[in-house]
Amino acid sequence: MPRVSPERLQSRRREILAGARACFARYGYEGATVRRLEDEIGLSRGAIFHHFRDKESLFLAVAEDDAISMADTVAKHGLVQVMRDLAAEADSPETTGWLGTQLEVSRRLRTEAGFAREWEDRKQAIAQATRQRLARQLEAGILRDDLPVEVLAGFLELAYDGLITHLAMGSNSSNLDTILDMVETAVRRR
Amino acid sequence: MPRVSPERLQSRRREILAGARACFARYGYEGATVRRLEDEIGLSRGAIFHHFRDKESLFLAVAEDDAISMADTVAKHGLVQVMRDLAAEADSPETTGWLGTQLEVSRRLRTEAGFAREWEDRKQAIAQATRQRLARQLEAGILRDDLPVEVLAGFLELAYDGLITHLAMGSNSSNLDTILDMVETAVRRR
């Protein structure tokens, strides 16, 4: 086997994850057969499973990638901005991929106690990013101060979960911008 | 076969639907095997499928029942009240049954174009009940009047979808009452 540079390895992994994300989004976890993963990623099963042990590991890697990127965006720009980005790009392959992963994670959280335990750290990282940003906004005087940050965070998370369902059902989204303005105003100082 | 009164027939149907709802909630649509349906309903498959053609008809009857009952509660008490009832009874068998049906309907709306067409009337009935009630509240001067009713309805629907996801994941709901107050305040006149 030829030696491969770490950069090359990293870029190959990213390539595989992007294809896998698209495949999970299109067919669902169950429907994403190895054959379909090969087609979407453009590599043989041998090459794919050289980098990831199995389909399950591949899905977890996609989901972790998304969770890290979400915690990062929330910390920098807030949960409302994550929602605005999703609403603005509702039909893009990126959003479709994102929704697919979020729905599969939700399904597992509901139905698999073991997964819920494994996923706890990821969930906490996103929850904490949301609360830390809200706390900074409170200090800056942008946020309403008559309710605990925990309640404001819960409100934003409810809206986020609702948006995921809404977009996943391909619902009409002509008013989404104004609705997200309402969500943002509800947590701000009057 | 002995003659059965229409009342008797009706009560038998309701009995079957209640058991089927509980069974779908516990095992999901796929997991609700005929054997499990028999156990939960307490009747033989012969008796069950004398009233409903097959498992699919049984599920559709449960889902339609829920949709009618929801449109009715929304018309009388509003969508926020539906949310408050669900939050207050988050662990009851009724709420668990309700969530199970809603999630299965969502899943089909996402993945089955045929079901989405069939379900359109049910969806419209609930959407219309929401809008009609909001229009009455607007006339009564309770609602904010700087945004179209359509936007306020969309905001409430987003919160409702978020609540379903939140409760279905068995999330901590200690702040739900205050969060639902925020939702209600956001559509009201200041």
Is B106 part of the contact surface with chain A (CB cutoff 8 Å)?
Answer: yes
What is the pLDDT, as a whole number, of residue B183? 98
Is B166 part of the contact surface with chain A (CB cutoff 8 Å)?
Answer: yes
Contacts of A175 in chain B (CB under 8 A): 148, 150-151, 154
| Amino acid code (one letter) for B152 | L
d(CA B114, CA B131): 26
What is the pLDDT, as a whole number, of residue B172? 62
Q: Find, among A8, A4, A20, A178, the residue nearest to A93 by Cα.
A: A20
| Residue B12 CB contacts under 8 Å (≥ 6 apart), including other chains | B4, B51
Overall size of chain A counted in residues: 190
Is A157 part of the contact surface with chain B (CB cutoff 8 Å)?
Answer: yes
- Residue matched to tokens 């639902």: B180
**Which candidate in A30, A99, A110, A158 is best for mutational testing of the B interface (most B CBs within 10 A)?**
A158
B183/A106 touch (CB, cutoff 8 Å), yes or no: no
d(CA A20, CA A14): 10
B164: closest chain A residue by CA? A162
Query: Looking at the partner chain, which of A111, A165, A175 has a beta carbon nearest the beta carbon of B151?
Result: A175
In chain B, % of residues over pLDDT 90: 69
Is A117 part of the contact surface with chain B (CB cutoff 8 Å)?
Answer: no
Q: What is residue B143's three-state secondary structure?
A: strand
d(CA B31, CA A47): 35
Bridge partners of A188, per DSSP, are: A143
The answer, yes or no, to whether residue A3 has pLDDT greater than 90, is no
A28: closest chain B residue by CA? B111
What is the pLDDT, as a whole number, of residue A106? 87
A165/B169 touch (CB, cutoff 8 Å), yes or no: no
Q: What is the pLDDT of residues B148-180, one digit of tens each?
A: 999 999 999 999 999 999 998 877 668 999 999
Domain ranges for chain A: 6-187
pLDDT range class, residue A180, cuts 50, 70, 90: very high
Q: What is residue A143's three-state secondary structure?
A: strand
What is the pLDDT, as a whole number, of residue A92? 87
Write out the DSSP string of A70-136.
HHHHHHHH-HHHHHHHHHHTTTSHHHHHHHHHHHHHHHHHHH-HHHHHHHHHHHHHHHHHHHHHHHH
- Give the mean model confidence (pLDDT) for residues A82-94: 90
Q: What is the pLDDT of residues A104-152, one digit of tens each?
A: 898 888 888 899 898 999 999 999 999 999 999 999 999 999 999 999 9
| H or E segment to which residue A189 belongs | none
Query: Looking at the partner chain, which of B151, B165, B176 has a beta carbon nearest the beta carbon of A178?
Result: B151
d(CA A119, CA A153): 19
Tell me the Ramachandran region of residue B54: left when phi exceeds 0, alpha when psi lies from -120 to 50, beta otherwise.
Answer: beta
The answer, yes or no, to whether residue A171 has pLDDT greater than 80, is no
d(CA B143, CA A122): 39
Q: How far is A42 from chain B (nearest CA, A)?
A: 25
What is the pLDDT, as a whole number, of residue A19? 93
Q: How far is CA A125 from CA A67, A131, A137, A153, B81, in A?
A: 8, 10, 18, 13, 32
Structure tokens at B51: 């009233």
What is the pLDDT, as a whole number, of residue B1? 59
Specify whether the CB–CB gap between A160 and A105 falls below 8 A. Answer: no
Task: Give domain A6-187's CATH number out of 1.20.210.10, 3.40.50.300, 3.30.200.20, 1.10.357.10.
Answer: 1.10.357.10
Is B185 part of the contact surface with chain A (CB cutoff 8 Å)?
Answer: yes
Neighbours of A5 (CB within 10 A): 8
Q: How far is A167 from chain B (nearest CA, A)?
A: 10
Is A163 part of the contact surface with chain B (CB cutoff 8 Å)?
Answer: yes
For chain B, which ranges sit under pLDDT 50?
Answer: none
Specify whether the CB–CB gap between B16 and B41 falls below 8 A. Answer: yes
Structure tokens at B134: 């909001």
Q: How far is A71 from chain B (nearest CA, A)?
A: 19
